[in-house]
Structure 1
Amino acid sequence: MGIQVLIKRKFIKEKADEVATLMVKLRSLARAQPGYISSESLKCIDPLCDDEYLIRSTWQTDEDWKKWLNSDERGAIQRKIDSITEEKTEYRVYEPLVGGIIPKQSE
């Protein structure tokens, strides 16, 4: 089923093109990684968050994602993005719920 990674980035409107170029580069490189399934980039249109991008990235396993997350190649580009935006990128990893039901915790 795969895992979903939500990546939230702030951006400075005057530097949006520069950040977008780096985001496209990251996506192109991610596509070649083992376990990559797909991704989608979104820009918030709500006035409270109109300076945010949200990327939804799907990977076969958490291990595949972590390998890419911790790669030197990705890290170099990510540091450039964080430097331009002067914000740290946030990551959240999610797994699908089977049938939308939260598994019962064993006692």
Structure 2
Amino acid sequence: MIYVLIERRIAEGMATTYDESARDMLQQTYAVPGFISGEAYEDMADNNHRFLLCKWRTSRDWQKWLHSAERAELINRFAPILQEPEKITLLAV
């Protein structure tokens, strides 16, 4: 089992748009093989700094999703509202 920490910085004034898109994306991820769970977090000092902590069965499952056309389509929704590309960190248990 692995954890994937996704860090995103949202453009000013786009938090509501991000929250709606992120919620939809997380719900769609529940159907992806190997996905176990995900939790969203907001930096208490900066509400434009967000984190998503996901649990995956294997690194292979995550990599397959990371490079899938479905994820690419979903992540393209975020492109206009992010200040910079998302940062992904893989964590071992």
TM-score, scaled to structure 1: 0.80
Structure with greater Cα Rg: 1
Q: 1:58/1:92 Cα in 2 relative to 1: closer, same or farther (>3 Å)? A: same
Give yes or no for contact 2:15–2:48 (8 Å, CA) kept in 1: no
Letter in 1 for 2:2: I
Which runs of 5 or more structure 1 residues have no equivalent in the other structure?
A: 97-107
Residue identity in the other structure for 1:6: L
Taking CA–CA contacts closer than 8 Å with sequence separation of 6 or more, which of the two structures ends up with the larger relative contact order? Answer: 2
**What does 1:78-93 correspond to in 2, within 5 Å?**
78-93=75-90
* Mapped partners of 1:50, 1:26: distance in 2: 19
Q: Over the residues paired in the alignment, what is the CA RMSD in angstroms?
A: 1.3
The one-letter amino acid of 2:13's match is E
Q: Deviations over 1:18-67 (max 9, x none)?
A: 11111111111110011111110000012xx4421011000000011111
Give 1:1-107 correspondences, 5 Å limit.
Answer: 2-46=1-45, 49-96=46-93
TM-score, normalised to structure 2, is 0.91
Q: Which runs of 4+ in 1 moved over 2 A?
A: none
Say which structure is richer in strand.
2
| 1:5/1:58 contact within 8 Å kept | yes
Q: What stretches of structure 2 of length at least 5 have no aligned partner?
A: none
1:55 aligns to what SS in structure 2? strand
Q: Between Structure 1 and Structure 2, which shows a larger proportion of helix residues?
A: 1
| Paired residue total | 93
